[in-house]
Amino acid sequence: MNELIFFFNKVIISGMVLGSIYALGAIGITLIFGILRFAHFAHGDMMTMGAFITFLLASAATALGFTAPLPMGFMVLPIAMFIAAFMALGIDKSFYAPLRARGAKPVTLLIASIGVTLMIQGLIRLFFGVKSRTFFASEPKEIYRIDMSFLGATRPITITEPQILMIIVTIIAVVALHFFLTKSKFGKAMRAMADNADLAQVSGINTKLVIRVTWVIAGSLAAMAGTMLALDVTLKPNLAFNIILPIFAAAIVGGLGHAWGAIAGGFLVGFAETMAVFNWAVLLRPFREGLPSWIPNDLSIVPTEYKLTVAFVILVIVLLVRPTGIFKGASS
Amino acid sequence: MLIDLKNIIAGYGGAPILKGINLAIEKSDIGVIIGPNGAGKSTCLKAIFGLLEVSSGEVLFNGQEIKNSLPDKLVPMGLSFVPQEKNVFTSLSVHENLEMGAFIREDDISQTIEEIYEMFPPLREKRNQQAGELSGGQRQMVAMGRALMSKPSLLMLDEPSAGLSPRYVLEIFEQIQKVNASGVGILMVEQNAKQALSFASKGFVLANGTNSFTGSGQELLNDKDVAKSFLGG
């Protein structure tokens, strides 16, 4: 039984957490690709930037003597998302919009976004330095241990308070996004523009406004994802830059331009990573007696250091079997 | 005049494709533009709708100059356009396609949607189906329905019969005449020249970027030169 609990802690909970972060990041990438037709490479750094905004707000709130029943990072998250949305609009207006106005090709915008990546990372290092920070310097990180002794296990299910909250917050965000895209006029206009931008323009849809709405959603969800990642691990300037590639893989696996695909892709890649580094020999331990001795003690598929490669294996397999992604995504 | 083009010169940046087009229709008219491939028929509609640069001439809509205005300004004024290809949102439902046509409207659109469903009964059945799953004829209905949702006074159609079976061609042409009877001016480009001219109140023959003949539909059908050059004898 202990082995199953270990599996639950290591694969299910970690997969949910990682999947939530990937999904929220991939939604932004997929929406931007759907509407603006370019791969927004700086998205990871928008996540990091959002996490630093949350960190500043949380530190300020704590310094001013505010106390909260939940981790301060979650309490100030809505404000941070609001600020991040404005910064995303600012980034678009200063860097991408002028290029679009000149009719720049998607590859030009991609290069510009790499420039934005370097700029954001540089600015963060300039103001905050390179050291790692934690949201839990002045408040404890609550850890829940759910006793499983009624199943005959001595090991508890362990989950931290931020992990529970981030799973709940992700579910709320995904449901809200679903209703926005299927019920609201602007959500439908976003889908229409991702489907056929020329026809959207011909229909009289205000495409500039749709672009702004897209940045607001992508920017605020990026701040959410970045904050969650920082709450789960630590905050550092290259926080989300390190996971931008699996996030892109998630968006592509799901079908580019497809919000539900990004969510599915995010969780698929997240679970695949945790399962690939899990030592499956642990599950065989109870049967150790009856098994031949040549079965090694370590049956993980890849060593932990190679976790990032898993996303690409998944990507290659999905693209071979279903070139448009799980959901039918935009092709060009 | 509902729409009045005076000596339009336009193109995609290089040599002009339209080299002086004159064309005018009233609200009661069905105007049909015919002509050989590459004569600039579609370009003419796109030029009116602000989709390419008009370098000189006048485009008057109800007497007002609209040259080089963008669609998000033209649609609220009462112009609407059905492109020839990719004219539906394939991943959106039929109903959502119609809603997108009414994007610029702030008032209640349920009455207009009801009218579209009356006009094209198959669409009511398939209202929740993705438009990409429909047959060519039904897609054309969605495309026309979408364009009518903004309650236009001028509906422009780029080859509405392209790729349709004869049965659907007839049905689409009938609906176009009904829409016209309800007070919407029609300006359309058509390859099915003979059939379209038979109900057109105005016909325009475009060749080499200028209009060489103008007359009522019947006049063009009876004109020997037009028949020989453009209607296949």
Query: How big is chain A, counted in residues?
Result: 332
Chain B nearest-CA residue for A208: B72
Is 70 exceeded by the pLDDT of residue B199? Answer: yes
Residues in chain B with CB shorter than 8 Å from the CB of A188 are 92, 96, 99-100
pLDDT band of residue A288 (cuts 50, 70, 90) is: confident
Looking at the complex, report in whole angstroms how far the Cα of residue B150 sits from the nearest Cα belonging to chain A: 8
Is B146 within 8 Å of A203 when comparing Cβ atoms? Answer: yes
Number of A to B CB contacts under 8 A, please give it. Answer: 63
As a whole number of angstroms, the distance between CA A285 and CA A283 comes to 6
Residue B170's contacts (CB-CB under 8 Å, 6 or more residues apart) are none
Q: Which among B51, B75, B86 has the least Cβ separation from residue A196?
A: B86
Under the banding of pLDDT at 50, 70 and 90, the label for residue B232 is low
Q: Which domains does chain A have, with CATH numbers?
A: 2-321 (1.10.3470)
| Nearest chain A Cα distance for residue B8, angstroms | 21
Give the burial class of B223: count Cβ atoms within 10 A of its Cβ; 0-12 exposed, 13-18 middle, 19 or more buried.
middle
**What radius of gyration, in Å, describes the C-alpha atoms of chain A?**
21
For B7-44, how does the pLDDT look when each residue is reduced to its tens digit (9 = 90+)? 999 988 888 899 999 999 999 999 999 988 878 899 99
Name the DSSP class of A156.
P
Q: Which two tokens stand for residue A152?
A: 């005959």
Question: Which single residue is written with the structure tokens 């406004």?
Answer: A209
Please write the tens of the pLDDT for every residue from B79-109.
999 999 899 999 999 999 999 999 999 999 9
A31-47: pLDDT as tens digits: 999 999 999 999 999 99
Query: For B135-157, how does the pLDDT look when each residue is reduced to its tens digit (9 = 90+)?
Result: 999 999 999 999 999 999 999 99
pTM: 0.89
Contact A262, A326 (CB under 8 A): no
pLDDT at residue A330, as a whole number: 53
Q: What is the mean pLDDT of residues A124-148?
A: 86
pLDDT at A332: 36
The C-alpha atoms of residue B167 and residue B92 are separated, in whole angstroms, by 26
**Shortest distance, CA A202 to any CA of chain B (angstroms):** 6
The answer to whether residue A216 scores a pLDDT higher than 50 is yes
Q: Which two tokens stand for residue A187?
A: 């959500």
Q: Return contacts of B158-161, CB within 8 angstroms, 24+ apart.
A: B158/B42, B158/B45, B158/B81, B158/B82, B158/B83, B158/B84, B158/B188, B158/B189, B159/B42, B159/B84, B159/B188, B159/B189, B159/B190, B159/B191, B160/B82, B160/B188, B160/B190, B161/B190, B161/B191, B161/B192, B161/B195, B161/B196
What pLDDT shows up at residue A70? 85
Determine the 3-state secondary structure of B134 from DSSP: coil
Q: For residue A331, name the pLDDT band (cuts at 50, 70, 90).
A: very low
Residue entry with tokens 């439908």:
A188
The larger pLDDT score, comparing residue A296 to residue B127, is at B127
What pLDDT does residue A285 have? Answer: 79
